[in-house]
Amino acid sequence: MENVWDATKLMALVYVIAAVVSFLVAWIIKLTFVVIRMQGGGGKPAAPETGDSQAKSAQQGPSGGA
């Protein structure tokens, strides 16, 4: 580019766009973790166990699938 000032403005614009996108992605990731914690997290099932879980454990055998 012949004009240094135009190249500098373009560089600043690209930098600002990249920073905004980066902050948006970080915010989405943070929000995802907040939602997971609100759901109960910790590896616990969200729904109470029903009779279907007993049928599945019976199919897995005496070791319980472990």
> Which pLDDT tens digit goes with each residue over 9-66?
999 999 999 999 999 999 999 999 999 999 985 555 555 556 665 556 556 666 655 5
Number of domains in the chain: 1
46 domain-assigned: no
Longest CA–CA separation in the chain, Å: 78
Residue 51 falls within a domain, yes or no?
no
Stated pTM of the model: 0.51
On whether residue 65 sits in a domain, the answer given is: no
For 2, the domain range is: 1-35
pLDDT of amino acid 40 = 82
pLDDT of residue 19: 98
Closest CA to 56 of 47, 65, 48: 65
Q: Do 1 and 7 meet the contact criterion of CB atoms below 8 Å apart?
A: yes
Asked if the structure places residue 64 within a domain, the reply is: no
Is the residue at 44 inside a domain?
A: no
Q: Give me the numbers of helices (H) and strands (E) for the chain, helices first please.
A: 2, 0
